[in-house]
């Protein structure tokens, strides 16, 4: 029902955005469903006359697989036993934490028969590798998202 409504009112949405040159806050008050990714993509799809959702998803999946393999290889190499033996005390703690993340991801991959846990584990692995606190990054992102929802 919402999809049909958004398709039928597309011209009004464009008029509001382009002709009236309203600020985004006003547009989102009049068209609150544009905040939702599905309806935003629907609007963009009509605008450019192609299926952005599919092409973006295909591009994301294609690039993600190659990048995931490269990053996974890089991260598992960075926390190998050989690296652990050569590391100083400060590095050992970080490498052990990375090894635990890798073990958890491998267990989840085996249990779920999916590569998604390996992909998702790259975020905390990269944070640990770069000496960043993953929990702090997640908190900042949650604050950013909650403030965006208050437009």
- Residues in CB range of 146: below 8 A, 6 or more apart: none
- What is the pTM for the complete model shown? 0.52
In Å, how far from its chain's centre is CA 151? 21
In Å, how far from its chain's centre is CA 106? 21
Distance CA 32, CA 2 (A): 11
Q: Which pLDDT tens digit goes with each residue over 128-149?
A: 888 877 676 666 555 555 555 5
| Beta strand spans in 6-150 (E) | none
Q: Where are the domains of the chain?
A: 2-50, 71-135
Q: Which pLDDT tens digit goes with each residue over 63-106?
A: 666 778 888 888 899 889 888 888 888 889 989 999 999 999 99
CB atoms inside a 10 Å sphere around CB 36: 12
């Amino acid at each position: 029902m919402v999809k049909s409504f958004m398709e039928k009112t597309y011209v009004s949405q464009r008029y509001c955005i382009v002709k009236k040159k309203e600020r985004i806050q006003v547009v989102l008050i009049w068209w609150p469903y544009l905040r939702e990714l599905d309806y935003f993509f629907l609007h963009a799809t009509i605008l450019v006359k192609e299926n952005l959702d599919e092409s973006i998803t295909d591009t994301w999946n294609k690039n993600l697989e190659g990048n995931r393999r490269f990053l996974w290889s890089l991260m598992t190499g960075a926390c190998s036993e050989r690296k652990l033996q050569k590391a100083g005390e400060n590095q050992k703690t970080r490498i052990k934490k990375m090894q635990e993340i890798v073990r958890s991801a491998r267990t989840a991959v085996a249990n779920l028969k999916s590569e998604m846990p390996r992909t998702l584990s790259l975020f905390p692995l990269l944070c640990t590798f770069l000496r960043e606190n993953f929990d702090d990054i997640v908190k900042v992102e949650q604050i950013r998202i909650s403030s965006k929802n208050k437009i």
